[in-house]
Amino acid sequence: MTKGVTIPGIADLLWTVLKAMRDLGGSASRAELLSHVREVAGFTEEQLAVVFSGSTGKSKALYRAEWAIYWLRAIGVLDSSRRGVYATTSKGIEYFGMVVAAADVALRSAYDEARKQAARKAAAKRAQSKETVQGDDAELDTANDLLPGAAEGDGAGSGPVSADDWRIALLQTLKTMTPAAFEWLAKRILREAGFQKVDVVGRVGDGGIDGVGLYKMSLVSFPIYFQCKRYAGSVGASVVRDFRGAMVGRGDKGLIITTGTFTPAAREEATRDGASPVDLIDGDELCDLILEYRLGVSVVERTVRDITVNGRFFETL
């Protein structure tokens, strides 16, 4: 039951994200950062279960955390590389020397100002488009200026379109696939990752095992069993336990792939001491793999030129 559950707003998560970055040593992958933000924010199972309809079933708490990351980049506190690794900038490090309450206030102020600037740019863009677009199309253009989350009142309704919009479109596509097709996609991804003899073996009575692949590391090779879950919500700890139980007598390595997310309890169960480890790939990580291997996605690289006018050249003419 998620009715009445309170979810922290984007502004409430700014310092939480920055603190998570400090805990991780100042740099982290997107998945690592979001995972640690869950812990620092102390999201409960009930909060994580609240789904934001505008993000194809993604947890509203995590969706807002992603927007907090976006705005921290916008105000120059975080930076990211092309490979999706986030790092705290020198400007971000300055906040660590402040009292927590003061740092929180300063971040909120910078966030508010960034949103106002983005709103002004969006308004100017809409005004310009209305000069050439009339009728229903003009209304659609105005609506398209809004960012995901605007209808939810998350305060993300102005500014540049999120670079993660392609993930939403891709996850929507994945969730329309048949179970068999999704399993074959997983097989293709594992082959691209270096697995050998990958077979889809899912059938009635398989205990949740959808396939197995042979992974070779140097002179040693071992089987890794995998399970595919086309989930809109979160995968819980019971799924991990049942899957591990199905591996008994077959192998010691497992992998669960889902289009949804994993609850904190599921992640803890996957690495529980004394039990066979189970690696987890959630929807965001799955999108990253599909992008990395260029499976069903195309990428257009854009070059940005910085041009400076040399006044002295013209003065000497």
Cβ within 8 Å of residue 195, ≥6 positions away: 213, 214, 215, 224
**What domains can be seen in the chain, in order of their start residue?**
10-152 (no CATH), 173-292 (3.40.1350.10)
pLDDT for 145 equals 36
- For the chain, list residues with pLDDT below 70: 1-3, 53-57, 81-84, 129-164, 202-207, 317
Using an 8 Å Cβ cutoff, are 159 and 121 in contact?
yes
Q: 226: part of which helix (H) or strand (E)? A: strand 220-229
Tens of pLDDT, residue by residue over 173-230, are 888 888 888 888 888 888 888 887 888 876 545 557 888 888 888 778 888 999 988 8
pLDDT for 213 equals 87
pLDDT for 147 equals 39
pLDDT for 17 equals 94
